[in-house]
Amino acid sequence: MFAMPSTSADLGIHLLAIETSGSVCSVCLLRDNRMLAEYTLDEPNVHDRMLATLVERVLSETSSRADLLSAIAVSAGPGSFTGLRIGFAFAKGMCLASNIAFIPVPTLEACAGAAVPIARMLHDCDIAAVIHARDDRWYAQHFSAEGQPLTEPYLTDSTSLQQRILTQTLLCGPGAAAFRQGLHVPGLERLTARFIARQALEYFRQGRFADPSTATPLYLEEFVPRRTAVIHPPL
């Protein structure tokens, strides 16, 4: 059995959100619809040593405690293999240790959720959430202006993706800036924990929780380790 959330009247919805699916390491604390604190480090390869520090700082500066959290949300992918594993392991550990509800949030869905208010103001608009995978490979998913999925998340190359971006396609996600087609809003082309928190709040209200002992990230492809060239000094 996994935890059901605490919703006592004095606490409301007390939600910690974690984003580690890309180069950004980000944590935020939400109480109902109000952001209490957010810390974001836009620096690669710091997740393993800085995530715990950011969580401790957010809790400390808001006079909060882990055991009073209603839920912990984490970016569920697709994204960086290492980043996703770090975020999942940390969030699952906290949930299991303190009996807290666990909410994995699909990363592309979180990006699209932030774009919905703008898409609703535009006519005949759709949303494309884009994340760079590696080389000329991109994770993408398409949504209606209301945020309803039109496709499943998929892995593609830039040429194929460009062909699916229409004039009235609103791009979002950290890979969006690489494409000139469609509509661009700079604030939507960055991914932090507040994107995860916004979507997780809707999940919470819908009762969409996962078992932290069995939940796994959405990778979309198998992990292939990169080879590092070794240069031998001259004899």
30 lies in some domain = yes
229 lies in some domain = no
Quick one: 51 and 129 in the same domain? no
23 lies in some domain = yes
Quick one: 126 and 161 in the same domain? yes
Quick one: 113 and 132 in the same domain? yes
* Residue 137 lies in domain: 108-188
Distance CA 145, CA 25 (A): 28
Q: Containing H/E element for 43?
A: none
Quick one: 76 and 112 in the same domain? no
pLDDT given for residue 9 in this prediction: 41
**Could you give the 3-state DSSP secondary structure of residue 116?**
helix
Quick one: 37 and 136 in the same domain? no
Quick one: 50 and 164 in the same domain? no
Structural domains in the chain (count): 2
**Could you give the 3-state DSSP secondary structure of residue 184?**
strand
18 lies in some domain = yes
Quick one: 195 and 89 in the same domain? yes
Quick one: 132 and 20 in the same domain? no
Instruction: Give the largest Cα separation in the chain, rounded.
Output: 74
Quick one: 65 and 88 in the same domain? yes
135 lies in some domain = yes
Distance CA 179, CA 160 (A): 12
Distance CA 149, CA 77 (A): 15
pTM of the model: 0.90
224 lies in some domain = no
Quick one: 87 and 117 in the same domain? no
228 lies in some domain = no
Q: What is the CATH number of the domain that holds 153?
A: 3.30.420
Quick one: 18 and 48 in the same domain? yes
Distance CA 216, CA 193 (A): 19
pLDDT digit of tens for each residue in the chain (235 aa)? 455 555 444 458 999 999 999 999 999 999 988 999 999 999 889 999 999 999 999 999 999 999 999 999 999 999 999 999 999 999 999 999 999 999 999 999 999 999 999 999 998 899 999 999 999 999 999 999 999 999 999 999 999 999 999 999 999 999 999 999 999 998 999 999 999 999 999 999 999 999 999 999 999 987 555 554 445 555 5
Quick one: 78 and 140 in the same domain? no
CA atoms lying within 13 Å on the CB side of residue 49: 4
218 lies in some domain = no
pLDDT given for residue 40 in this prediction: 96
Q: What is the CATH number of the domain that holds 99?
A: 3.30.420.40
